[in-house]
Amino acid sequence: MKHTHIYILGCLALLLQGCGKFLEEYSQDTDYVRTWKDLDELLIGDCYLPVKNSNYLNLTENIGSWLHVLADEVEECQSSYSSNAGADGDRRERTFGYFTWQQRVGQNESFTDYYAENEAWTKIYYCINVANNILSSVDDVPQSSETDEQGAHKVQGEAYFLRAFYYFWLANLYGKPYNAATAATDLCVPLKTSDVVEDRKFSRQSVAEVYAQVLSDLDDAEYHLTEYKGKKPSIYRADLTACHLLQSRVYLYMQNWEKAAEYAQKVMNEHPALVNLNTATGKFLVKDNAENIFSMGGNDVPNLFNYVYQSYSVSRELYAAYTSSDLRKSQWYWQRGNFVGPVRTKVNSMYFSYDQTAGDYYTRAYSEIQVQQEVSGLFLLRSAEAYLNYAEAKAYLGQEGEALEALNTLRKNRISTSANYQVTATGSALVSAIRRERRLELALEGHRWFDLRRYMVCSVQPESISITHEWTYYSSHTSTKMTERRRFVLEENDAAYTLPIPQEVINFNTGMENNLRPWREYTVVQ
């Protein structure tokens, strides 16, 4: 039988844990593939990102937790509560280079050293290489029965879907936003789709090449997931609807409005559910939410927001963007003074009846290690996005009636029945309204940074914003004594809207071109 080789592109070998608790399936360690079930177990254990406990001390354990601090959704915490400042300050500094858009994102706050920059890159390419090996091995396993054929379709469909998702995610971190006029020359990330181990340095493919691979993989995923007639076991496994939603997102980013709307419509037909916040008042980002289509990976979002010194808060500007009649504002956030924290996730049952007026309530209820988060903070697909993708694409196409219908269908489920939820805007005002709704609906789910990037090159109503972040220095990581406060600004159309390739990858792949980013100046404000 064929030996399954697992290796990593441009990095040292990384041993990932097997499936998380919520995958509800068992992955065995095996070097030899004998049936499609062996490939399925390899898929579960090493190709899907496992759902893990939020890690109170190590913010970098879950892939890409720093993505949430890049945009305008987050600011420094202004709380006066000081418990656990030491643990928060240490892991907070690991996000400094991202939060302040430094030339190197691993930059520490004192500019004396760097944290590792390649954890997410390494893990994602590990998963890509597992997918490569699964796809190259599937034809070698017996398919002597309908069960075998169905199993092969299932494994292939999910592997193609995951590889597409991973390359799409990498492209939107390390490549420029998709612009048809320059995509053929804009550098993106290395492409590796073969299971053959190659002893060579890798170079970067173009944005156009990577997106072409993503679309090809999604087409293959769609074919195999259509052929598979079995039941989907849980939201932690990809299915045809998940594929359609990701296709809609990819086409939206590529400015293919017709295809984006077509696939969004498929999702709305297959999975139209929207949770009405007027009647459903439980926690929103949980496993059994009717809107969930697919989820994988960890969720450290609650641990960014601890209501303590040396931590983060939801930006006051984002919080103020919700109207008083918007039920997302009252149900999805916890506010005290200048601090705002998300509460859409599962509460710690140990503190369910804890005094909510106590200073440490938020930290205990939502941010401690005992709190198991059931859905991803980055790799989550839910039905609300389909309505927003459809509305945006239709607005760009000038089909405003259809855009408004989709937008208002979503808003009807988010706005208090005592208020008017209807948007009636047209033209550029309608586009702005859809973009605003997208920001409010998908906040802290990993969309905002990518959306800001693609708006810059949008052929219809291009837009770029300047973002200001302030960083407070303390006498130590265990102190609440402030020594200085610095202001950093990400300018409109700034080159830092694209992340640098991790330095460890540049060092290994001699000659690989990096993304040029300006030195980040600052002003002292306090």
Residue 16 has pLDDT above 50, yes or no: no
Which residues, 6+ apart, have CB-to-CB distance to 489 below 8 Å? 466, 467, 468, 469
Instruction: Flag whether the pTM goes above 0.85.
Output: yes
Helix (H, G, I), strand (E, B) or coil at 447: coil
pLDDT digits (tens, 9 = 90+) for 17-44: 333 333 333 333 345 678 999 999 999 9
Domains detected in the chain: 21-52+119-260 (1.25.40.390)
Mean pLDDT of the chain: 88
Phi/psi at 336 (nearest 5 deg)?
-145, 120
What crossing angle do the helices spanning 207-227 and 240-253 adopt, rounded to 10°?
160
Neighbours of 464 (CB within 10 A): 16
Fill in the DSSP letter of residue 295. Answer: E
pLDDT digits (tens, 9 = 90+) for 354-383: 787 787 888 888 877 667 788 998 999 999
Residue position matching structure tokens 């919520």: 22
Residues 182-214 as b or e (16 or more Cβ within 10 Å = b)? ebeebbbbbbbeebeeeeeebebbbbbbbbebb
User: Which helix H or strand E contains 268, and what residues bound it?
Assistant: helix 257-270
Both tokens of 244, joined, read: 């359609």
Residues 334-361 as b or e (16 or more Cβ within 10 Å = b)? bbbeebbbbbbbbbbeebeeeeeeeebb
Asked if residues 467 and 474 have their Cβ atoms less than 8 Å apart, the reply is: no
- What's the confidence (pLDDT) of residue 254? 98
- What's the confidence (pLDDT) of residue 20? 32
**C-alpha pair distances (Å), 142 with each of 33, 135, 138, 149:** 10, 14, 9, 9
Angle at 354 between CA 342 and CA 333, to 5 degrees: 15
How many Å apart are CA 466 and CA 493, to the nearest integer?
A: 8
Helix (H, G, I), strand (E, B) or coil at 102: coil
**C-alpha pair distances (Å), 53 with each of 6, 289, 370, 371, 376:** 26, 19, 7, 7, 11
pLDDT digits (tens, 9 = 90+) for 208-258: 999 999 999 999 999 999 999 998 889 999 999 999 999 999 999 999 999
Q: Which residues pair with 490 in a beta bridge?
A: 467
Residue 84 has pLDDT above 80, yes or no: no
How many Å apart are CA 193 and CA 166, to the nearest integer?
A: 12
- What's the confidence (pLDDT) of residue 80? 66
Neighbours of 160 (CB within 10 A): 25
Confidence band for 395, pLDDT divided at 50, 70 and 90? very high
User: What's at 372, amino acid-wise?
Assistant: Q
- What's the confidence (pLDDT) of residue 88? 56
Residue-level length of the chain = 526
pLDDT digits (tens, 9 = 90+) for 441-478: 999 999 999 999 999 999 999 999 999 999 999 988 87
Q: What DSSP string describes 174-194?
A: HSPPP-TTTTTTSB-------
Helix (H, G, I), strand (E, B) or coil at 86: helix
Both tokens of 260, joined, read: 């984006």
Q: What DSSP string describes 375-415?
A: S-SSEEEEHHHHHHHHHHHHHHTT-HHHHHHHHHHHHHTTB
pLDDT digits (tens, 9 = 90+) for 277-319: 999 988 999 999 999 999 999 888 888 888 888 889 999 999 9
